[in-house]
Structure 1
Amino acid sequence: MFNRRIELKTPEQIGLMRRAGLLVGETLELLRTSVRAGISTAELDAIAEDHIRSGGGIPSFKGYGQPPFPGTICASVNDEVVHGVPGARVLAEGDIISIDCGAIIEGWHGDAAITVAVGEVPAEVAELMRVTEESLWRGFAAARLGGKVSDISHAVESYVRSQGDYGILEDFTGHGIGSAMHQAPDVPNYGKPGRGPKLVRGMALAVEPMVTLGSKHTEVLDDDWTIVTNDGSWAAHYEHSFTLTPDGAWILTALDGGEQRLGELGVPFGGR
């Protein structure tokens, strides 16, 4: 288990996290444009590793955990929710792939994820992706200095529930982030507001809704990493790392800091 003490960062350390976050964001945009039918998840992984190292970063995921994770990205296809191990699997028209990516710059981490459609997908799958991504931003919109972590959780769940009968994973959560990739506190994607640690300046969190078309229950494959839905339903996963400043929310892994989407939701932008 990681240290349960919440790490508060200085503005200079947040600045280094922003550099790591930008590298992650740029890598994910490169991967988004690289996804196509016929490409393997191993090829996507190689693209990610080259871009991160060329940008002066270190892949966060490679060698992480037990057994050591072998890839730079998590590549989770269709009913694979998270932690998919990149390899020989070739993407086909109509698949979706969730890509989770992390990078370290000068000891500070960025972590984000996107879900990408491979060509045309069924309307219900496209809607799953939209709902999951929007719930992430609704979580950020609920975050205020002096509020509580579960304000984010409640906003994510409330939005997803308002959109249909989806499964929200409970066994996997967002997390604190900083000088380590996974830190306190946990950031669940469900729950009542007004609970958990107070949101204070210097805290950085990775928020990551994981939503399915069916069950919230999952299983782990024989590789000891890949998490799949137990009913075979497809899943989407989106993630950004963010912090709060006196001016508002700052999405450290979004290329524009989240300014556009936060503005559309009427939320003050706290970046610089």
Structure 2
Amino acid sequence: MQKQKSFDSSSIGQLYLVPTPIGNLEDMSFRCINSLKEATIIASEDTRNTQKLLNHFEITTPQISFHEHNYKERIPQFIERLAAGEMIAQVSDAGMPSISDPGHELVEACIEAGIKVVALPGPTAGITALIASGLTPQPFTFYGFLPRKKKEQLEVMETLKSNQPTQIFYESPHRIATTVKHFSEVFGEERKAVVCRELTKLHEEYLRGTLAELRNYLAEHTVKGECCLLVEGIDGSEVSENTDLELSIKEHIEVLMNTGSSSKEAIKEVAKLRGLKKQEVYKEYHVD
């Protein structure tokens, strides 16, 4: 076990994970700006991209590149500097570090070395799109980018099609039409979904409908900008109907609990769906 007190006095340095705007520069918080100004260095996914942000807010802190192609080389360098008392601010091109972006390996290395890691709150595309999507906001699961190859993508979709939470994916504008087509084939045409593009920018747009409607629209229209794709989860009653004969009573209860039901509520629902007494279901659930 390790205990971290983020803001006590210490001679050792700290890693700050600083979110950056996903489009609108006004979403940059005062705390994020000050953290970038106070840092010894900024570890940037793309220094050219980050420099535009720094120039806008008159931040003169030097940068050093940190991305998927050089992180193994950079991490020992950063750990050495942090151990010497420096403060490093890590940023990705947009949004939160580590979420479909570089950063996780550095966080792991800092924790192993006993260096404090402080995350600042800020923009993240998935949650921003979710709350305006019209789909059930909780529970939800975040997947990020699906595999690009068709066979691998379809295999992943097959494992996700019976999940009940709303699912969040990232996709490029060049692949979104094909990905939605694959979802309609695996999840079914009537499943509701939302494509959100150009979040926080002037041309922000939400496309809401069934997977069939979105598939047909995207087959005829070209979209621009990085996309969030949100797909509704399978209906709880549908899961129950489909899994009565496939799942054990205990597994059936756990499926319902994963949607937010308490164990008491899940036991009652399973008993109702299976035509059993609650006491029978309760005993089965608590058998070791």
**Length-normalised TM-score, structure 1:** 0.29
| Larger RCO of the pair (alpha carbons < 8 Å, separation 6+) | 1
Q: Which has the higher strand share?
A: 1
The structure with the largest alpha-carbon Rg is 2
Q: Which has the higher helix share?
A: 2
**Length-normalised TM-score, structure 2:** 0.28
